Amino acid sequence: MLIAVMEKSASVKDIGAVLRHIEERGLKPYLSRGDEQTQVGCLGAPEEDDLREELAGLDGVSSAFVSKSPFKLASREFRPESSSFKVGPAAVGEKQLTVIAGPCAVESADQLAQVGELLKDLGVPMIRGGAFKPRTSPYDFQGLGEEGLQLLAQARARYGLRVVTECLKPSDVELVAQYSDVIQIGARNMQNFALLQEVGRARIPVLLKRGMMSSLKEFLLSAEYILSQGNEQVALCERGIRTFETMTRNTLDIAAVPVLKRLTHLPVIIDPSHAAGDRELVPALSLAAVAAGADGLIIEVHPKPEEAVSDGPQSMTLPGFRKLYETLKPVAESVGRTL
């Protein structure tokens, strides 16, 4: 990627001229506008091309360079400042931690009502719940489908929450987007490139989960598929990777937080529920994630985990989640964050 670094004093006219110059060469420009730095990138220019010198000579451009990063738009070379995006009144990637909570699977209106009341009382802005469930066995509960989406939308209207739910295939993106505020791409679909491109075109915020056996480079390249389609509203979710350890469902890669923060400007969310597979471990992993610099948490909560149709052992009870939420406050404040 060729990147033109704009001067702080560059005008809108200057930036527009750089964008037009790139387009006139038959290339697609990408704008990265931050509080301190504005940059314009483009893909496809041959290294021996003289475009770099042309851009460096334009008004308002301080320098131009070629990025060697394999993940172009997700890299901090393209956007040095951390990025954020709005989901209703909440912001993902800013000082306030993003907390998302709710059941693994949508089961009933009463289930969502009990969770919704708790989240509203605590001030948690987003509810999660699966209407379409990718299950290891074809005989397990697969979700309520559109009925589940409708129940989530009802909870959003009643409790003022924003909805995070999973989409499994490209043909369902439009439907899921009608009812949700954030589309989740699950671990099993991290490299479903057709799905990634479709949510990229949909322009709806995306929570992208890391594949259970994927490297961080592969994770970021999956995010690149979404970004390359013009959707800049992407958050990365570390949910544990599969290792030789059997005492937990997965192994939470806590080191992924600072590594990702160094490599990318995208917000980083931690899913302690899928990492642990055990509700008693979720508080400790949540606190560790916040201390490590994560931008938020997505936690499974159920009114009666022992009766849950999926992931009951890792789902927190309503009192348990309330206690955890209160415990998070001092840890968040210690690292300069708020709830």
Residue 93 corresponds to which amino acid? G
**Predicted TM-score of the model (pTM):** 0.94
Other CB atoms within 10 A of residue 24 CB: 8
* Domain range 2-66, its CATH number among 3.20.20.190, 3.30.70.1140, 3.90.1300.10, 1.20.58.2030: 3.30.70.1140
Q: Where are the domain boundaries for CATH 3.30.70.1140 in the chain? A: 2-66
Is the separation of the CB atoms in 318 and 301 below 8 Å?
A: yes
Phi, psi of 332 (to 5 degrees): -60, -45
What pLDDT score was predicted for residue 308? Answer: 95
Cα–Cα nearest to 84, from 73, 98, 67, 72: 98
As a whole number of angstroms, the distance between CA 316 and CA 292 comes to 22
Is the separation of the CB atoms in 83 and 265 below 8 Å?
A: yes
What pLDDT score was predicted for residue 142? Answer: 82
To which H or E segment does residue 297 belong?
strand 296-300
What pLDDT score was predicted for residue 34? Answer: 87
Query: Mean pLDDT per segment of 10 residues, for the chain of length 339 residues?
Result: 93 95 92 92 75 92 92 95 95 96 97 98 97 85 92 97 97 96 98 98 96 98 96 97 96 98 98 98 98 98 96 97 96 95
Tokens read off for 144: 């309520």
Other CB atoms within 10 A of residue 321 CB: 26
As a whole number of angstroms, the distance between CA 96 and CA 247 comes to 33
Residue 125: strand pairing partners: none
The burial of 330, by beta-carbon neighbours within 10 Å (0-12 exposed, 13-18 middle, 19 or more buried), is given as exposed
- By three-state DSSP, how is residue 148 classified? helix
Question: Which residue blocks in the chain are alpha helix, DSSP H?
Answer: 12-24, 51-56, 109-122, 146-159, 173-179, 193-202, 216-227, 256-263, 272-276, 282-292, 318-334
Q: Where are the domain boundaries for CATH 3.20.20.70 in the chain? A: 85-334
What pLDDT score was predicted for residue 270? Answer: 98
Half-sphere exposure of 44 (CA within 13 A, CB side): 10
Other CB atoms within 10 A of residue 93 CB: 21
What pLDDT score was predicted for residue 48? Answer: 53
As a whole number of angstroms, the distance between CA 315 and CA 163 comes to 18
As a whole number of angstroms, the distance between CA 74 and CA 82 comes to 10
Cα–Cα nearest to 67, from 84, 83, 45: 45
Q: What superfamily would CATH give domain 85-334?
A: Aldolase class I (3.20.20.70)
What pLDDT score was predicted for residue 43? Answer: 85
Three-class HEC string of 282-296: HHHHHHHHHHHCCCE
As a whole number of angstroms, the distance between CA 324 and CA 316 comes to 9
- By three-state DSSP, how is residue 190 classified? coil
As a whole number of angstroms, the distance between CA 41 and CA 36 comes to 17
